[in-house]
């Protein structure tokens, strides 16, 4: 490294920024888990202050000077150094396009909006939410314009979650994926109907669910010395530090599969975080590649591993230990219960066959809103009409329609598409891992997950932001994100 | 207000400082409740960063300029304004005496030290803790010298927790209080021995304890819309915002009194926080007067209210509802079980008669360490010898001796004395409230706590930092903190 001084200053500055970002994440985690109801205004101000500080740290003029010094030195860099410098350049360029006051305003507005949204959803009252959503859409459009875009404004937002992704490219994939998956729904539903939806219904005490979930999470490789599981209305995973990964799930005393698959999903995210380069954690070389890659990790463990019959062959004795009434069932019956397919209203409860149709709907509406082709007031009608086309159901109320997701209230336009990219990536990565390790399936059947995890560590986790998502997929699987592999997987599993 | 602009800038600056301070408190709360074991280093760096920011905000040169402008304006101020300006002046003068790097270093060291201490206590290994404690003592002495002192270095540390208090004055009170309380121990123990120590022993499910504790806390006036109760190894109360008061307690499945009195104590602290002036919260007019006043609130609700027979007369039916095996006892028997007296090793478990002897011991040792009359290495021997003199017991190991408290590891030399000041203040305040409301006892016997709480709100909580602790006590009770009232109370209750 030709100029350790400028590089070192950048390292220290972005490590400081990571301290602030994870402080923000810690307050955000607390907001979802334990915050008293009346404390949300103060919390919003704390979060806004932290967002402002983080923005100040990463957009200061000296950062630009240090970057120019590093980039102009002409000396050779090792991989970590060049990954960091390229990542900082991107982050700095994006940060300097947003004024600090704008960042704080957006943070404060979205912190308040999540409460307005939660209230509106409870009452299924879109009118109550509408002024707040209009405010957010205005801010998010402004943000996209500040960040800059070429083909369409929505590109600027997508790029935040999926660096380098373009609306047109994703739209092209979705244009084929939609009809192909829609065609699967009917036949897959017929197969699924052979297993009654409530076949496993019974008493599953929450304490027992917690114990079983923890046992499974540990077996998959999740390290509880540097992580934990709490309870929230919606499962999530957040990273509060290099050795502080917080997962959450939710419990239904009549359905242990709900909390378990929540945990399996979030464990996938958590393993990614725990597999990042610790000495570079919080710097580009130790950060996740994209949300579409992050989601591939959660869907891989949730669906490809946890949703397999092999998984239940292995775990059935431990499950019966925790839930004695399961003894009346075979592993195949439990796997079948987890494999139900039926069009439904709520995305987070949707099965794998219909899930991407929920995403396509959101992707379409978001583009129209952000590009200025639709007003916020028109969302419910547009949502319900398109839902009928895609999933064949009449949305009974906005709580089960356009009010169901938290994302818009935190300003996360552009986020949803990464869920489907994650599904596609998960199928491709699983196939590649199988190809690399012919004995993988027999290991998985014995509950040995170390080989798979090691493959993911080497091919995904350890790279940090070294590659773009398409390049990472190319390196790991031989081709960029596509839909064929995922459709093969769905057909094999559900037909 | 002559110069709204300088005053307004100070308000905004110190409100920003309160946002940072409460963010620090939120991470501290999480550290005690939910932090994964390996996450403590990163957390220490987050806390150090926040401490540095808070120091930067409150010690910046412009703060001095704004203060000078406000102080020099010669115009009349209303009460809130003058309380704020005087408080900011004190805070600014103290902050500017400590370099920012020193503040961050102290924060980082103490965050690490609490973990070293916890490990040392677990193994009862003072030698393991000694280098860390020596480092902290060195830093704390340096801090005292930076802050400045006249009579003795320990004064500078006391003043942080009890503004204006002097070592010599407290030593004079303790010199009389010690022998007077020591003389009570024998007779009070004899009375207490009539009730077996484990008279109520039985099964008290933790869920039932949580439900009962919550019911009592609500009845006393604690607002769960702006607060909550969690579980920790040691009970505490912390303030994360104007409407975010977090209490903790610990549970013993065989002893419901332990968690209940933990909650009653912390509820006392919490009611103080919830009774501060909300619009000035975080500014001097909306901050607590001193730790000795804060502790008076906890001890008042824990001992004077919760420890009374009247309390159990009222609560017995609800307690029996939650704990059916209590039906075999009378309210007087439960109150007697809560009123046990016996010299013991652990301060936080000590009864009211011996408690202050634990404090006097620490007060003496801290002075010698800080003033340079004793080395850290000599603490265990000095502790054990003095413990034998004061409480008549041979300390079996350092875990039950000088390693038992967390305070030194967070740098809290000077803190302990405020516990005893709190006991004395609590007795004086309770007597004054009774004098002001002759019907108070009959209200308390009916479980009506609103009159007492209202009296505390008017005479203590709402004043913020308007008065020094002695002046507040004079206003509220007619005389500054003394010991007579407390000794009367102990004699009446325990003999």
**pLDDT single digits (tens) B147-160:** 999 999 999 999 99
Residue A106 Cα distances to A142, A173, A179, A489, angstroms: 10, 32, 37, 40
The residue from A104, A160, A266, A352 that is catalytic is A266
- CB-CB under 8 Å, A22 with B23: no
- CB-CB under 8 Å, B23 with A46: yes
* pLDDT of the residue at B467: 96
Work out the pLDDT band at A357, boundaries 50, 70, 90.
Answer: very high
The domain boundary residue, chosen from B87, B120, B148: B148
* pLDDT of the residue at B139: 97
Helix spans in B377-465 (H): 379-391, 417-436, 440-445, 450-459
Give the distance from residue B138's alpha carbon to the nearest chain A alpha carbon, in angstroms: 27
3-state SS of A195-218 is CCCCCCCCCCCHHHHHHHHHHHHH
* pLDDT of the residue at A182: 95
The answer, yes or no, to whether residue B3 has pLDDT greater than 80, is no
Helices (H) and strands (E) in chain A — how many of each? 20, 3
Let me know whether B217 and B74 are in one domain: no
By the 8 A CB rule, do A342 and A195 touch? no
Residue range B352-379: average pLDDT?
97
- CB-CB under 8 Å, B241 with A46: yes
- CB-CB under 8 Å, A43 with B224: no
Nearest to B301 by CA among B170, B167, B461, B133: B461
Helices (H) and strands (E) in chain B — how many of each? 20, 3
The answer, yes or no, to whether residue B232 has pLDDT greater than 70, is yes
Q: Is A32 labeled as catalytic in the residue annotation?
A: no
Work out the pLDDT band at B363, boundaries 50, 70, 90.
Answer: very high
Please tell me what DSSP assigns to residue A238: E
Let me know whether A140 and A217 are in one domain: no
The answer, yes or no, to whether residue A351 has pLDDT greater than 90, is yes
* Partners of residue A226 in chain B, C-beta under 8 Å: 36-39
- Comparing CB atoms, the residue among A36, A49, A225 nearest residue B226 is A36
Q: Which of A255-278 are b and which e, b meaning 16 or more Cβ less than 10 Å from the residue's Cβ? A: bbbbbbbbbbbbbbbbbbbbbbbe
Mutation site, A18, A42, A48, interface B, largest B CB count within 10 A: A42
Return d(Cα A369, Cα A411) in angstroms, integer.
13
Return d(Cα A181, Cα A423) in angstroms, integer.
12
Let me know whether A189 and A141 are in one domain: no
Let me know whether A249 and A124 are in one domain: no
By the 8 A CB rule, do B285 and B432 touch? no
Q: Which of A44-59 are b and which e, b meaning 16 or more Cβ less than 10 Å from the residue's Cβ? A: bbbbbbbbbbbbebbb
Let me know whether B134 and B156 are in one domain: no
The answer, yes or no, to whether residue A406 has pLDDT greater than 60, is yes
pTM over 0.90: yes
* pLDDT of the residue at A4: 60
The domain boundary residue, chosen from A148, A182, A199: A148
Residue of A nearest to B25 (CA): A27
- CB-CB under 8 Å, A230 with B38: no
What is the extent of the structural domain holding A309?
Answer: 152-495
By the 8 A CB rule, do A189 and A341 touch? yes
Residues 6+ positions from B188 with CB-CB distance below 8 Å: B341, B353, B490, B494, B495
Residue range B273-302: average pLDDT?
97
Mutation site, A14, A222, A244, interface B, largest B CB count within 10 A: A244
Residue of A nearest to B34 (CA): A228
* Partners of residue B241 in chain A, C-beta under 8 Å: 39, 42-43, 46
Cα A365 to chain centroid, rounded: 19
pLDDT, chain B, mean:
95
The answer, yes or no, to whether residue B188 has pLDDT greater than 70, is yes
Residue B70 Cα distances to B280, B316, B495, angstroms: 18, 56, 55
The domain boundary residue, chosen from A122, A148, A174: A148
Residue A410 maps to which CATH number?
A: 1.10.1370.30
The answer, yes or no, to whether residue A447 has pLDDT greater than 70, is yes
By the 8 A CB rule, do B284 and B318 touch? no
* pLDDT of the residue at B240: 97
- CB-CB under 8 Å, A228 with B36: yes
* Partners of residue A228 in chain B, C-beta under 8 Å: 34, 36
User: What is the number of structural domains in chain A?
Assistant: 2
Please tell me what DSSP assigns to residue A326: G
Let me know whether B252 and B360 are in one domain: yes
Residue range B236-244: average pLDDT?
96
Nearest to B230 by CA among B246, B211, B218: B246
Q: Read out DSSP for A110-126?
A: HHHHHHHHHHHHHHT-H
Nearest to A8 by CA among A70, A59, A51: A70
Residue range B135-146: average pLDDT?
98
What percentage of residues in chain A have a pLDDT greater than 90? 93
Return d(Cα A367, Cα A382) in angstroms, integer.
13
DSSP, collapsed to helix, strand or coil, labels residue A60 as coil
Residues of B at the A interface, defined by Cβ within 8 angstroms: 16, 19-20, 22-23, 26-27, 30, 34-39, 41-43, 45-46, 49-50, 53, 223-228, 230, 240-245
Element (H, E) at B231: strand B227-231
Return d(Cα B193, Cα B136) in angstroms, integer.
42
Nearest to A344 by CA among A333, A354, A335, A334: A354
Let me know whether B59 and B167 are in one domain: no
pLDDT, chain A, mean:
95
Give the distance from residue B174's alpha carbon to the nearest chain A alpha carbon, in angstroms: 40
The answer, yes or no, to whether residue A452 has pLDDT greater than 90, is yes
Q: Read out DSSP for A76-97?
A: ---HHHHHHHHHHHHHHHHHHH
Let me know whether A268 and A304 are in one domain: yes
- Alpha carbons within 13 A on the beta-carbon side of B84: 27
| Interface predicted TM-score (ipTM) of this complex, two decimals | 0.92
By the 8 A CB rule, do B7 and B81 touch? yes
Count chain A–chain B contacts defined by CB atoms under 8 A: 98
Return d(Cα B285, Cα A267) in angstroms, integer.
47
* pLDDT of the residue at B195: 85
Give the distance from residue B249's alpha carbon to the nearest chain A alpha carbon, in angstroms: 16
Return d(Cα A287, Cα A273) in angstroms, integer.
8
**Greatest CA separation found in chain B?**
69
Return d(Cα B234, Cα A438) in angstroms, integer.
53
Helix spans in A124-226 (H): 126-147, 153-161, 167-192, 206-220
- Comparing CB atoms, the residue among B46, B49, B241 nearest residue A39 is B241
Question: Phi and psi for A450 in degrees, rounded to 5?
Answer: -65, -40
- CB-CB under 8 Å, A39 with B26: no
Mutation site, A18, A22, A28, A34, interface B, largest B CB count within 10 A: A34
**Beta sheet of A227-231, edge-to-edge order:** A227-231, A244-249, A237-241
Nearest to A26 by CA among B253, B69, B46: B46
* Partners of residue B49 in chain A, C-beta under 8 Å: 16, 19-20, 23
Let me know whether B169 and B66 are in one domain: no
The answer, yes or no, to whether residue B242 has pLDDT greater than 80, is yes
The pLDDT tens digits of the residues spanning B54-63 come to 999 999 999 9
**Beta sheet of B227-231, edge-to-edge order:** B227-231, B244-249, B237-241
- CB-CB under 8 Å, B244 with A35: yes
Work out the pLDDT band at A73, boundaries 50, 70, 90.
Answer: confident
Beta strands in A334-384 (DSSP E): none
Work out the pLDDT band at A370, boundaries 50, 70, 90.
Answer: very high
The pLDDT tens digits of the residues spanning B372-420 come to 999 999 999 999 999 999 999 999 999 999 999 999 999 999 999 999 9
Give the distance from residue A392's alpha carbon to the nearest chain B alpha carbon, in angstroms: 42
Work out the pLDDT band at B4, boundaries 50, 70, 90.
Answer: low
DSSP, collapsed to helix, strand or coil, labels residue B289 as coil
Residues of A at the B interface, defined by Cβ within 8 angstroms: 16, 19-20, 22-23, 26-27, 30, 34-39, 41-43, 45-46, 49-50, 53, 223-228, 230, 240-245
Let me know whether B370 and B303 are in one domain: yes
- Comparing CB atoms, the residue among B19, B227, B245 nearest residue A49 is B19
* Partners of residue A206 in chain B, C-beta under 8 Å: none
Paired strand residues for A237: A247
* pLDDT of the residue at A76: 79
Mutation site, B17, B21, B25, B30, interface A, largest A CB count within 10 A: B30
The pLDDT tens digits of the residues spanning A153-211 come to 999 999 999 999 999 999 999 999 999 999 999 999 999 998 887 889 899 999 999 99
Give the distance from residue A39's alpha carbon to the nearest chain B alpha carbon, in angstroms: 5
Return d(Cα A346, Cα A357) in angstroms, integer.
11
Work out the pLDDT band at A112, boundaries 50, 70, 90.
Answer: confident
Let me know whether A46 and A170 are in one domain: no
CB atoms within 10 A of CB A355: 19
Let me know whether B129 and B253 are in one domain: no
Give the distance from residue A441's alpha carbon to the nearest chain B alpha carbon, in angstroms: 33
Residue of B nearest to A26 (CA): B27
- Comparing CB atoms, the residue among B30, B38, B42 nearest residue A30 is B30
Residues 6+ positions from A78 with CB-CB distance below 8 Å: A1
Please tell me what DSSP assigns to residue A413: T
By the 8 A CB rule, do A384 and A395 touch? yes
* pLDDT of the residue at A74: 74
Residues 6+ positions from A294 with CB-CB distance below 8 Å: A269, A272, A288, A418, A422
Nearest to A86 by CA among A7, A144, A145, A19: A7
Q: Contacts by A154-159 with C-beta closer than 8 Å and gap 24+?
A: A154/A366, A154/A367, A154/A370, A154/A371, A154/A413, A154/A414, A157/A370, A157/A413, A157/A414, A158/A414, A158/A417, A159/A414
What percentage of residues in chain A have a pLDDT greater than 70? 99
Return d(Cα B295, Cα B283) in angstroms, integer.
20
Return d(Cα A46, Cα A107) in angstroms, integer.
10
Element (H, E) at B227: strand B227-231
Give the distance from residue B190's alpha carbon to the nearest chain A alpha carbon, in angstroms: 45
């Amino acid at each position: 490294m030709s100029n350790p001084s400028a590089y070192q200053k950048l390292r220290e500055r972005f490590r400081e920024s990571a301290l602030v970002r994870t402080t923000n994440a810690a307050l955000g985690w607390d907001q979802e888990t334990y915050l008293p109801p009346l404390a949300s205004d103060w919390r919003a101000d704390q979060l806004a202050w932290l967002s402002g500080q983080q923005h100040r740290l990463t957009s200061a003029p000296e950062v630009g000077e240090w970057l120019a010094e590093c980039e102009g030195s002409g000396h050779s860099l090792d991989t970590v150094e060049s990954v960091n410098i390229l990542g900082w350049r991107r982050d700095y360029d994006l940060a300097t396009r947003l004024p600090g006051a704008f960042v704080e305003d957006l943070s404060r507005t979205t912190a308040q909006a999540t409460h307005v949204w939660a209230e509106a959803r409870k009452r299924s009252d879109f009118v109550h939410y509408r002024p707040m959503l209009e405010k957010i859409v205005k801010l998010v459009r402004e943000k996209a314009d500040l960040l800059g875009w070429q083909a369409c404004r929505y590109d600027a937002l997508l790029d935040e979650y999926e660096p380098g992704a373009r609306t047109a490219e994703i739209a092209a994939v979705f244009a084929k994926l939609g009809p192909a998956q829609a065609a699967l729904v009917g036949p897959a539903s017929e197969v699924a109907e052979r297993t009654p939806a409530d076949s496993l219904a019974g008493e599953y005490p929450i304490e027992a669910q917690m114990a079983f979930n923890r046992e499974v999470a540990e077996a998959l490789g999740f390290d509880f010395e540097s992580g934990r599981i709490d309870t929230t209305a919606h499962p999530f995973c957040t990273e509060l530090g290099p050795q502080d990964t917080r997962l959450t799930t939710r419990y239904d005393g009549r359905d242990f599969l709900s909390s378990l698959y929540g945990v399996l999903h979030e464990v996938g995210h958590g393993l990614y975080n725990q597999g990042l380069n610790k000495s570079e954690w919080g710097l580009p070389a130790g950060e996740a590649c994209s949300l579409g890659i992050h989601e591939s990790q959660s869907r891989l463990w949730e669906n490809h591993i946890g949703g397999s019959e092999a998984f239940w062959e292995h775990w059935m004795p431990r499950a019966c230990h925790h839930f004695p009434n399961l003894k009346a069932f075979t592993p195949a019956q439990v796997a079948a219960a987890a494999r139900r397919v039926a069009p439904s209203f709520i995305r987070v409860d949707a099965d794998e066959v219909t899930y991407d149709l929920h995403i396509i709907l959101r992707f379409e509406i978001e583009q129209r809103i952000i590009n200025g082709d639709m007003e916020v007031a028109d969302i419910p009608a547009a949502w319900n009409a398109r839902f009928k086309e895609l999933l064949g159901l009449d949305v009974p109320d906005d709580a089960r329609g356009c009010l169901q997701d938290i994302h818009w209230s935190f300003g996360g336009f552009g986020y949803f598409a990464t869920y489907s990219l994650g599904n596609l990536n998960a199928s491709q990565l699983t196939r590649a891992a199988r190809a690399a390790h012919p004995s993988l399936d027999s290991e998985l059947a014995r509950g040995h997950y170390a080989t798979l995890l090691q493959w993911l560590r080497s091919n995904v986790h350890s790279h940090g932001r070294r590659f773009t998502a398409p390049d990472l997929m190319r390196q790991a699987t031989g081709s960029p994100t596509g839909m064929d592999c995922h459709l093969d997987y769905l057909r094999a599993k559900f037909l």
